[in-house]
Amino acid sequence: MRTINVGLIGAGFMGKAHSLAYAAMPMFFWPAPAVPHRKIICDVTEEAAAEGAQRYGFDESTADWKRVVEHPDVEVVDIATPNHMHAEIARAAAAAGKHIICEKPLARTAEEARTMYEAVRDAGVVHMVAFNYRRTPAVALAKRYIDEGAIGELISFRGTYLQDWSADPESPLSAGGADQLGTGRSAGDAPRGPVDVDDEMITMLRFSNGAIGSLEATRNGHGRNNFLTFELHGTEGSIVFNYERRDELQVCFASDGADRKGFRTVYTGAPHPYGEALWPIPALGIGYGETKIIECHDLFQAIVGQEAVSPDFGDGYQIARISDAILESSATESWVSVPPLETTPGRG
């Protein structure tokens, strides 16, 4: 079984989650596509990086991210830095021929994302954006239902992301220190910078197949924690998901008899996506860590050439275009069209 060396840039909260995935992936997925080896970790100071190496089990540490990108033994570069550094690092890693996994969002603008996508496309490396919530088994099950046509043609979508933190968006790599994001501190002692992200947004959506929808997000919803939900209506059924109860998928099939119709609460486990690999006993339950472990598996499967990975930088680029369109729509108070995008998947 092949061992593949990883270089991780960013020892903050996301660095922790990714390190867990590298250590645990083969425990869950066996035989593993390959065994990740934690080679080198980077953070803003030598001290923070060294502490990260000890804590997360990396061989080496550095405060210079270029050392990671240029490291001859590193095959995969993992970008877990603040958003504004994604593009430069990703382009350098692609130029060095490294496979890349980059935390979400891929970039701050579509233009920035485009340069990243083109760099990995031209380099012919595997590229992935870490939209790990898609790896939640219940979300993957929803996708399976849709692909099977179990709820018919989609006619509407509504997504919400409601939370109640007004956290300092200053990132770990800027402030330094392992597992730091500032949000875990409930007391008022966390150092804060000015809040420069929008705290609340709503937008309406029209899809090319005629479906309609909406997106809403806020950080001001007292009592909402990670209320990341979607509700899908199709001509033959409905699907509802809420990450706060991420082990459950609600699905209603129109074909059920009139006196037996209602939302089914499907509790994900062995019969569902990734279920055999995870916990082979009903309802032991999935946490955030498992979504990262699955993501890691899918990445390494692509690296060893078994399957193309999704979502890749092409997807990340398209999502950046949608984000830009939402901002433009808000500024111009008008509908903005986002045409389809033809992209080349990462090698796989």
Tell me which residue has tokens 């193309």: 308
Q: Least distance to a copy of itself from the beta carbon of 237, Å?
A: 5
Shortest separation between residue 337's beta carbon and a copy of itself, angstroms: 12
- 75, 85, 83, 86: which is closest to 126 by C-alpha? 75
- 137 preceded by a cis bond (ω within 30 of 0): no
Among 63, 92, 154, 155, binds a copy of itself (CB under 8 A): 155
The least distance separating a copy of itself from the CB of residue 97, rounded to whole angstroms, comes to 28
Query: Quick one: 274 or 313, whose CB is closer to a copy of itself?
Result: 274
Binder among 77, 286, 303, 319 for a copy of itself (CB under 8 A): 286
CA distance 207 to 17: 34
Out of 149, 191, 193, 271, which residue is the one contacting a copy of itself (CB under 8 A)? Answer: 271
Question: Minimum distance from CB of 119 to a copy of itself (Å)?
Answer: 30
Site for a copy of itself in 97-126 (CB under 8 A): none
What distance in Å separates the CA atoms of residue 110 and residue 89, rounded to the nearest whole number? Answer: 17
b/e 179-188 (16+ beta carbons within 10 angstroms → b): bbbbeeeeee
Pick the binder of a copy of itself from 283, 305, 306, 307 (CB under 8 A). 283
Tokens of 112: 């920035």
List 276, 305, 328, 341, residue binding a copy of itself (CB under 8 A): 276
Q: Residues 56, 19: contact at Cβ < 8 Å?
A: yes
Q: What is the dihedral of CA 186, 190, 193, 194, to 10 degrees?
A: 30
Rounded Cα distance between 112 and 89, Å, is: 12
Residue 66 or 264 with smaller CB distance to a copy of itself: 264
- 131 neighbors 311 (Cβ within 8 angstroms): yes
Q: Which range touches a copy of itself (CB under 8 A), out of 61-69, 81-89, 106-114, 245-253?
A: 245-253
Binding pattern for the stretch 156-175 against a copy of itself, x by CB under 8 A and - elsewhere: x-x-x-xxxx----------
Binders in 54-93 for a copy of itself, by CB under 8 A: 54-57
